[in-house]
Structure 1
Amino acid sequence: MYSLIVHGRRSVDLHKWRNLSVSVQNVFSFSSSFSSYAASARNCRKEQVFTFCYLVDSLGLTTTVAESVSKKASFKDKGNPNAVLRLLRSYGFTDSQISSIVTNYPRLLLLDAEKCLGPKLQVIKSMEGASSSSDRLIETISKVPKLLGMKGDKTISRYYDVVKETMESGKSFKFEKLCHSLPHGMQQNKIRNASVLRELGVPQRLLNPLLVSDHKLVCGDGKFKETLKKVIDMGFDPTSSQFVQALGAVRKLGDKEIQEKVNVYGKLGFSIRDVWEMFLKYPISLRFSEDNVTQTFKILKTCGLIEEEILSVFKKFPQCIGYSRQKIYNSLKTFFGLGFNINQFSMMVKRFPPCLNMSAERLKKRTKFLVKKKNKLMLRKMKWSLNAVASFPQVLGVSMEKRIVPRCNVMKALRVAWRQRKHTT
């Protein structure tokens, strides 16, 4: 299939509402355990709200970041998080560094400060030596906070060495003691492969996840060379995340398997050019199973989209191909709860497919801000209709703090100035 994709690149140089309502009822029908599920969901929501407020008040995170972090790790009281913050500050971490660490690794706040986090920091500190400055420890943990989530002193020691040496090698472009605890063959392979990726321009932020693991992608020998050559020939940019994704996808798929994937998409109406363009945007799209692809296709048909529209959605946002039935119906339920109808939902998916991946809270917050008659932030009528939001769903994907509110404030100021000028004349 590799040759087919390359050839494609080179050649370029739901049923109606009645059926849908039945499907939704089936999907969201619960057994007698619904009450316990609902209670659990309410408790989870309370913890998320508490965590959100804590992150904003104690760490100064923006509401957008705090919302994202609270969904990945939440707690119901501030006892342990406060202990974690005190411990990190005692090691010299600044509030801005702690904020960055928590943003990148939210579960850090769930670790037991005394029994878990403290001993790990002591292990790392002992590796630096008593006379060593804590600056390097702080820099390393700040860049790769997941080190503190690893188990076992030997594991922590090994990966800390990898990260530390990798960071130092970034200045000299040399890998001297990288992953010394790995078997000799794997060690040599990783040093060589990492050097090749760096010389190609792969940024450190994309190398770190590979270097702190025994990932076969960089620990292999002949397979790495073959995979790298294919991905380079395909034209992927080494500085992009798609480059690393493509390495992983191509490595796991042989020519025959890739051909089979293309055939699956072909049965649904995609051309080779379409498959190639989706692969460029989201290389993982070729790793989805036939059942996964066809099921998502059928689900979107039940949401009111016709085949041509689904093909367009897939091409615009191939990430949605991997969405489960439950995820899509959860999105549908959220939009219905906000007052949108099935036609408006279909319109939003067609025009802005990423809306399928937005959290319920994000959608509710933005929709209520735009549509609600009396807005607490603006103290004026926004006069947006649900149909207006459906016609321009991209507005749901922009930042409230950086885009929506500032621009609404500008519009308000212009209106006031226009009225004053009109009154004086």
Structure 2
Amino acid sequence: MLQMEEVRSQKLSEGLQESAKSVSKKVQLKNPTQPDSVLDLFKNHGFSQTQIRKIVETIPRLLLFNAEKTLLPKFQFFYSKEIPSSDLSVVLSSNPSVLRCNLDNRIIPNFNSFKDFTRRDDSEVFLAYKKCSNILACDFQSTIAPNVALLRELGVPDSNIMTELFRHPRFFAQNYDKFRRTVKEVEKLGFNPLKYNFLSALQALMQISKSTWERKLNVFKEWGWSDEDFVIAFEKFPRCMMLSEHNIIKKMNFFVNTIGWKSSVIACSPLILGFSLGKRIIPRYSVLQVLLSKGFIKKQISVQFLIYSEEEFLARFVTPYGDLHLLKIYKENNSLEN
């Protein structure tokens, strides 16, 4: 095992050197040792060989940067925000684009703007960057801020905006004209800006192309939804259209063919489509199957058993029947994949 790891490490090192040589051929280096100093910087700050290679393959020109003058100050800035090196290596290897940005003119003002907007702590701001490079890499005031201002003008509660901005920052980093047009579409559909599903509907319309929208709509229709069913479902749970087609099919198949519900039942309670099949739906249904077989509950199963919180579900369907070992059944099924 140790020998295999040594071979693997050697190959990764060779790969990094090849990346450095490739850049060297394309660009005339003022200092031949520059790529090595960049690689050493990453190594000295806890980046693994795999992480370094990923960064170099994504942005090979980083090897031409001055390690001490250009890259190190950015590391030091993130450390000053109490971001541990372990998080730094994970996030930057996943999304290294910020390393190309100017520290004083772009990274610091964007970091502070996003923090002020969302009222989150420093580490949370950095983790949000992992989801969307625009948070730190693009001009926050000219991209995200205008879209936020538009929502505020409509009366969307600040608490809703800030929560969604942190969870889905990419959604706010859209072209302003497109964002404004889509906001008008959501208004025409009758969504209330004061309610949270206004932003969910906006995100769905922003991120889904017309062709993808039609395909997903057809999937629901294939499972028996009418146009009216879809309107009801989308108004209640707009994120149903953000599920993958494969995800929709798997869940509709389970609800209709395994549990035996009519598809219109799911349309009236579309929130259940957002639940994990492996972590919530199947484990809970397995518990109810045991209770049905023992005669403790009636054959008719309501969607409410999926909507109950974890604590309430256990209190209602698991704890009172200790002799049936339902908790073991529940946990075993809970280990299934989504």
Note if contact 1:331-1:360 (Cα within 8 Å) is conserved in structure 2.
yes
Q: Partners of 2:113 and 2:167 in 1: how far apart?
A: 17
What amino acid does structure 2 have at the position aligned with 1:166?
Answer: F
Label 1:136 to 1:196 Cα distance change in 2 as closer, same or farther (>3 A).
Answer: farther
Q: Does the alignment pair 1:154 with 2:40?
A: no
Partner of 1:166: 42
Q: Partners of 2:76 and 2:9 in 1: how far apart?
A: 23
What amino acid does structure 2 have at the position aligned with 1:230?
Answer: S
Q: Secondary structure at the match of 2:63?
A: coil
Q: Greater shift after overlay, 274-283 or 158-167? A: 158-167
Note if contact 1:245-1:283 (Cα within 8 Å) is conserved in structure 2.
yes
Partner of 1:390: 267
Shift of 1:201: 1.9
What is the RMSD of the two structures over their aligned residues, measured on CA atoms?
4.5
Q: 1:226 aligns with which of 88, 96, 109?
A: 109
Partner of 1:337: 222
Q: Does the alignment pair 1:252 with 2:138?
A: yes
Partner of 1:189: 70
Label 1:283 to 1:360 Cα distance change in 2 as closer, same or farther (>3 A).
Answer: closer
Label 1:360 to 1:225 Cα distance change in 2 as closer, same or farther (>3 A).
Answer: closer
Q: Partners of 1:161 and 1:392 in 2: how far apart?
A: 58
Label 1:288 to 1:391 Cα distance change in 2 as closer, same or farther (>3 A).
Answer: same
Alignment of 1:73-112 (within 5 A): 92=4
Note if contact 1:186-1:220 (Cα within 8 Å) is conserved in structure 2.
no
Q: 1:136 aligns with which of 3, 9, 17?
A: 9
Q: 2:83 aligns with which of 167, 190, 201?
A: 201
Q: Does the alignment pair 1:409 with 2:282?
A: no
Shift of 1:328: 3.1
| TM-score w.r.t. length of structure 1 | 0.50
Q: Greater shift after overlay, 249-258 or 405-414? A: 249-258
Q: Partners of 1:140 and 1:355 in 2: how far apart?
A: 45
Partner of 1:11: none
Q: Secondary structure at the match of 1:356?
A: helix
Label 1:344 to 1:273 Cα distance change in 2 as closer, same or farther (>3 A).
Answer: same
**Structure 2: gaps of 5 or more residues:** 25-33, 48-54, 297-338
| TM-score w.r.t. length of structure 2 | 0.60
Per-residue Cα deviation, 1:183-222 (whole angstroms, up to 9, x for no partner): 45465322221233245226132122344x57434x5444
Shift of 1:363: 0.7
Note if contact 2:191-2:198 (Cα within 8 Å) is conserved in structure 1.
no
Note if contact 1:236-1:242 (Cα within 8 Å) is conserved in structure 2.
no
Alignment of 1:268-347 (within 5 A): 268-270=154-156, 274-297=160-183, 299-300=185-186, 305-308=189-192, 312-316=196-200, 319-320=203-204, 322-326=206-210, 327-347=212-232
Note if contact 1:348-1:391 (Cα within 8 Å) is conserved in structure 2.
yes
Partner of 1:67: none
What amino acid does structure 2 have at the position aligned with 1:332?
Answer: L
Partner of 1:362: 247
Q: Partners of 1:371 and 1:283 in 2: how far apart?
A: 35
Greater relative contact order: 1 or 2 (C-alpha under 8 angstroms, separation 6 or more)?
Answer: 1
Q: Partners of 1:347 and 1:159 in 2: how far apart?
A: 58
Label 1:371 to 1:160 Cα distance change in 2 as closer, same or farther (>3 A).
Answer: farther
Note if contact 1:242-1:283 (Cα within 8 Å) is conserved in structure 2.
yes
Per-residue Cα deviation, 1:113-134 (whole angstroms, up to 9, x for no partner): xxxxxxxxxxxxxxxxxxxx23
Note if contact 2:275-2:281 (Cα within 8 Å) is conserved in structure 1.
yes
Partner of 2:302: none
Shift of 1:367: 0.4
Q: Partners of 2:222 and 2:197 in 1: how far apart?
A: 23
Note if contact 2:71-2:99 (Cα within 8 Å) is conserved in structure 1.
no
Note if contact 1:264-1:290 (Cα within 8 Å) is conserved in structure 2.
no
Shift of 1:272: 5.3
Q: 1:400 aligns with which of 261, 264, 277?
A: 277
Q: Partners of 2:225 and 2:36 in 1: how far apart?
A: 50
Per-residue Cα deviation, 1:10-39 (whole angstroms, up to 9, x for no partner): xxxxxxxxxxxxxxxxxxxxxxxxxxxxxx
Note if contact 2:147-2:172 (Cα within 8 Å) is conserved in structure 1.
yes
Note if contact 2:106-2:138 (Cα within 8 Å) is conserved in structure 1.
no
